[in-house]
Amino acid sequence: MIENIYWAGLLHDIGKFWQRAENQKLKNEELSRIFINQHYNDELFVSLVANYHQPTTREEYIIAIADKLSAGESEDKQSGGNVASKPLISLFSWLKLTKGSDQEKYVPLKLYDPDSPPYPVANKNEAVLNGRGYQKLWEGFIQELSKHKDNLASILYLLQKYLTLIPSSADNSRATISLYDHARTTAAIAAALYKEDIPEPTLQKIHRHLKNKNYQAPELQKPYFLLVGGDIAGIQDFLYDIPMDNAAKNLRGRSFLVGYLNRLVALYLVEELGLLESSILLIGGGRFTLLLPYSDLEKLQELKGRVEKIIYQAFNGKLKFILGSIPLTINDLAEGNITKRWEELGQELNREKMKPFLSLIKETPELIFGPFATPDNICPICGREATGETGLCSFCQSIVEMGAELPKAEILQEKRVVEKSSKNEISNVNELFLALGRQVRFSDKPERNCFNLLLNSYDFVVKNCQGFYFAPKTTAQEFEALAKKSEGIETWGVLRGDVDNLGKLFREGFADKITITSIAALSRAMGEFFGVYFNDLLKEFGDKVYTVYAGGDDFFVVGSWSVLPKVALKLRRQFTLYCAGNYDLTFSAAIKLAPNFKHPLFKVAEEARELLEEKAKTGGKDKIAFLDKAYTWDEFSRLQGLKDHIKKIVQSGGSKAIIQHLYGIKNLLYTNEQETSYSKVWRLVYQLSRYRDSLAKELQPYFREKIMDVVVFNTTEINPLASPAARWAELELRARGD
């Protein structure tokens, strides 16, 4: 029966899609009934979808309550006008802390495409493709539905593909939540309510109180839900603390594993509780959030201990599984208290992080404290016994081997199995996957008895797959090769960054009353920029850069050092476009260069983290740290421009003396002697004038306009960007071996 609840939750408003595609005059609920009848012909399923507006059975009340809690006060009204002309309003354009967006913007009605982010536009008619947007999507949806209509797991992916860019509400003032986000949260809420076994009379009272907005009624104060947060801690050390030999394959495998492990653990928990993937509200960035029935608390604690042990056995303590939960009432979901509860969940997770392995210490202390045999050969990564010729343990070697498979794989195959209990150690990644209830393989073609996830593409139906999965696209380039592809000095670097003030935006940025769907939608949209579209944004840089980690609200990229500033500026521009030009949605970043290509990654990663926290994220944040200084993004763009002009002059025949002239400016900027400062400025002007005169005549106007007038302005002021621009230019112009 619970599958019918999921089906009804996901498809209860499918009539809205049909209504807008063909400008139907029938009401949404009638169209939904006809749709279910045509495609499924299941009497119970039809009644759940057709009657939730006027429920008469326990199950119908559950769908009705879930719909109200998901939608909040923005339940769809039968608005006038042509519903096919109403696109999704970008949720980003409605968020505001101080400035917000200049105007409301609309998400284009189109297919989800990882190679084409849905950048919001100001023109509503452009967003709906002149009225044809809904119709084109509907035609594609119906065609692909026919191949997967009986597969509930696949339907979730199909709805994500077609309904994410469609508004749930046709009421223009409320059209910031997608039909996909409304459908999936409705399904999650309904499944939890169904498992709580609430009597029908109580459900009737709850429904009536919600309809009358009587949120203080006693029936709405009882905890029926668990908001559950999971976190894989220790990702930084796990990713970066590796030997530099074969580092690319190792990184590729580890990067995939930390993201995929999140999915496996979340699926394992919900399935062990008799639930389905739709009960996973959020997943990404090393974290996940579930909505579960409150009555599952005891079982959840048992599963927590089980997963903790599996993760410890696999990673020898380097990765830690953290799980926390808080009770939720219907009032929490109805009255806009969800942000407060979400914050409480974060605090609970932080408390859990302070006591890692506590349950393991109590129940199996020998797993943590030993005694352990001392191996003759020790794995340099994790400290276990090394085996074979690689010098690594079997588990770390299996990660490297998985990293070698990934570039050739098109499909990730999952097969659910009865978990296999392990003794005290998990010796490879396949044993880890099996312990979490999945047999996992990579392939270039689908297999009938597996759940086939197409990698990095939404075209899963035409490829005969059942869903999709996005993983960072990486290169086979080792660090030495990355260093050799750089301009100037031969080294590599890292770029890392994260979104500013995101927690505050969740707490204070919404104009309307916040629902669980609002938070789920915002988190999904933010996560998709880094987890889905990130790959495409890096394409133009080819094999000079690759993603180690991107998801949730942060990222970590390795590449030839000279290309990383361009990567950072592009990511910043596209992020601003993606977020509807919202001035309150920014990210800070840091670039750190390795002293040489053999320098340990973990040291460069840690130095970049310090730069990010101590320089880029100080003050108003929204900055980038580069060559140990922080700049606003506008300053950094101008810095790059000045650097390029300096390079052009030198590469066109000018002497490198210009670099020394400009680099020495830093000494003029910190003097307290005003008169001396004036004389030094004029001396600089004299030096620049002489340098200009030494250039070929065709270069002199360019030098005057692009460098002299930029470096010294108003005859007495020196541009503080001149010195770092000269340093940057010198690094890119330096000959190999200098």
Higher-scoring residue by pLDDT: 133, 417: 417
pLDDT of 75 > 70? The answer is no
pLDDT band at 419 (very low <50, low <70, confident <90, very high): low
Average pLDDT of the segment spanning 641-665:
93
pLDDT of 221 > 60? The answer is yes
Residue with tokens 């942000």: 339
Q: Give the model's pLDDT for residue 724.
A: 95
pLDDT of 173 > 70? The answer is no
pLDDT band at 677 (very low <50, low <70, confident <90, very high): low
Average pLDDT of the segment spanning 33-46:
89
Average pLDDT of the segment spanning 435-463:
95
Q: Write down how long the chain is.
A: 738
pLDDT band at 168 (very low <50, low <70, confident <90, very high): very high
Mean per-residue pLDDT of the chain:
90
Average pLDDT of the segment spanning 696-709:
93
pLDDT of 511 > 90? The answer is no
Q: Give the model's pLDDT for residue 370.
A: 80
pLDDT of 422 > 70? The answer is no
Average pLDDT of the segment spanning 92-107:
91
Joined together, the tokens standing for residue 407 give 């570039």
Query: What are the distances in angstroms from CA 395 to CA 73, 112, 253, 316, 431?
Result: 51, 37, 12, 10, 9
Give pLDDT tens digits for 597-639: 889 999 999 999 999 999 999 988 999 999 999 999 999 999 9
Residues 6+ apart with CB under 8 A from 99: 582, 583, 584
> How many whole angstroms separate alpha carbon 736 and alpha carbon 491?
10
Q: Is 174 exposed, middle or buried (0-12, 13-18, 19+ CB in 10 A)?
A: buried
Average pLDDT of the segment spanning 60-68:
97
- Asked if 587 and 498 touch (Cβ cutoff 8 Å), the reply is yes
Q: Give the model's pLDDT for residue 151.
A: 93
Average pLDDT of the segment spanning 37-64:
92
Average pLDDT of the segment spanning 36-57:
90
pLDDT of 172 > 60? The answer is no
Q: Give the model's pLDDT for residue 374.
A: 82
Give pLDDT tens digits for 247-275: 778 888 999 999 999 999 999 999 999 99
Average pLDDT of the segment spanning 664-688:
69
Residues 6+ apart with CB under 8 A from 727: 627, 663
Residue 528 main-chain phi, psi, to 5 deg: -70, -30
- Asked if 536 and 115 touch (Cβ cutoff 8 Å), the reply is yes
End-to-end CA distance of the chain: 73
pLDDT of 738 > 90? The answer is no
Return the minimum-mean-pLDDT range out of 78-82, 129-133, 287-291, 376-380: 78-82
Cis status of the peptide bond prior to 375, with omega within 30 of 0: no
User: Percent of the chain, pLDDT > 90?
Assistant: 67
Q: By C-alpha distance, which of 508, 453, 67 is closest to 267?
A: 453
pLDDT band at 279 (very low <50, low <70, confident <90, very high): very high
pLDDT of 183 > 90? The answer is yes
pLDDT of 24 > 50? The answer is yes
280 DSSP assignment: E
Return the minimum-mean-pLDDT range out of 224-228, 280-284, 424-428, 557-561: 424-428
Higher-scoring residue by pLDDT: 201, 421: 201
Q: Give the model's pLDDT for residue 26.
A: 84
> How many whole angstroms separate alpha carbon 331 and alpha carbon 211?
13
pLDDT of 78 > 80? The answer is no
- Asked if 723 and 666 touch (Cβ cutoff 8 Å), the reply is yes
pLDDT band at 676 (very low <50, low <70, confident <90, very high): very low
User: Percent of the chain, pLDDT > 70?
Assistant: 94
Output the 3-class SS for 63-81. Answer: HHHHHHHHHCCCCCCCCCC
pLDDT of 735 > 80? The answer is no
